[in-house]
Amino acid sequence: MSQIELQKKIEDHSARLAVIGLGYVGLPVAALFAQRGFNVTGVDVKAERVDRINQGISPIEGDEPGLSELIAGVVKSCKLHATTDYDELKDVDVVLVDVETPVNHAHIPEYEALRAALKSLSAVLKEGALVVIESTIMPGTMQNVVLPILEKNTERKVGQGFYLGNCPERVMPGKLLKNLNSMSRVVGGDSPDTAAAMRALYGNIVAADLDTADWITAELVKTVENTYRDVQIAFANETAMICEALGADVWRVRELVRKSPGREMLLPGAGVGGHCIPKDPWLLASSVKGLDVRVRLIPAARDINSFMPSHMLDLLKGRIKDLNGKRILLLGYAYLEDSDDTRDAPSQYFIKALEAEGGQAVVHDPYVAEFAGDLYEKAKDCDAAVLITAHSQYKSLDFAKLKAALKTPVLVDGRNLWDKMEVSKAGLDLVRLGDFSM
């Protein structure tokens, strides 16, 4: 199939699509293309997830506006079907790959899922099909990892036997469908013609700019943008700790700084989690390993943000010196408010630090089934409470009821969620990140 034929099939919606990896990115992408009239096959290694999707049930919990209804509709209309079997992709014209691309403990990219997906796809890839990597990858991965696997295992050449592109995702839990529709995308192709075909494809679900580029540019844009955010959060977190040491309120400082034109300051917090920001800076830094580039800022920012869960414990220890044998109520386990996404959540690191001190965490999270339940029942006999995740439910806490349940009226706020005066009126001692002011 030529690129002209492929683009025509995309434009008249006769192209058959597949999405490999039905998680936070792949599933809403598959559902949106199905809603736009494409026949979409989703592939995932988790049979339970596949079964739920084929029943029209979203496996993604949390507050995701419109997603459950969308999945139910496209499954009912037979436009979306999920499977664990790659053989069902033999007649597919376009394949989007949305698998996890983590880094290991040495901060080196691990591509186990990506390599496995590409090898399985190679065995059934239709000649002339377009393969698009949406997963965030280290700059250079398209050229040095993806291309060699596909060419070797299909015994075809890119631009002849298949086409290859990189279009990094730009989504966030809680805003999956909104971000897919409203966020601009970079479409990097093996050639300008491939990038044009990708632009025609994504124009079906993206109502923002679709900028064409080559592979390396697309890879860099995604890793750079997330690294930028990580560095800016690190600055906010370090400023918060400076304010604590000097007896100032970082939230008031931030408010006044932002009144100066062009002076933006992100929010400090209890830690940075999720699949992207803790990982993507290392992808960017790893891309120049062995080259004559001294990377200093990125590791420093990562160190600051990784330290914040331990700093939350330090704030708690300012009120409760000895945590041995103490039970601490942890408010929020997911890394992001109103989400069930627990990947690399700061709460996990806080719990480890607490347990190292001999303490025990009693976790509450309304969006994570394992930790759901009555918050005030969980608070009984706990020695203090610590907010890690700013779920909406926590904004309307009954502070008097919480105080009555806790052994010690200590509440540590890692997200600036509550008004100091309101909490104090209930008799709780509020310790707020970045605020040791009088």
What length does the chain have? 438
Specify whether 276 is catalytic: yes
CA angle at 341 for the pair 339 and 346, rounded to the nearest 5°: 105
Query: Given 167, 243, 276, 382, which residue is catalytic?
Result: 276
- Tokens, residue 253: 């400082």
At 362, which amino acid appears?
V
Cβ atoms of 414 and 312 closer than 8 Å: yes
CA 337 to chain centre: 12
Q: Are 180 and 205 in contact (CB under 8 A)?
A: yes
Give the C-alpha separation, 12 to 31, whole Å. Answer: 18
Catalytic-role residue among 79, 126, 222, 279? 222
Q: Write the single-letter amino acid at 239.
A: T
Active site residues: 222, 276
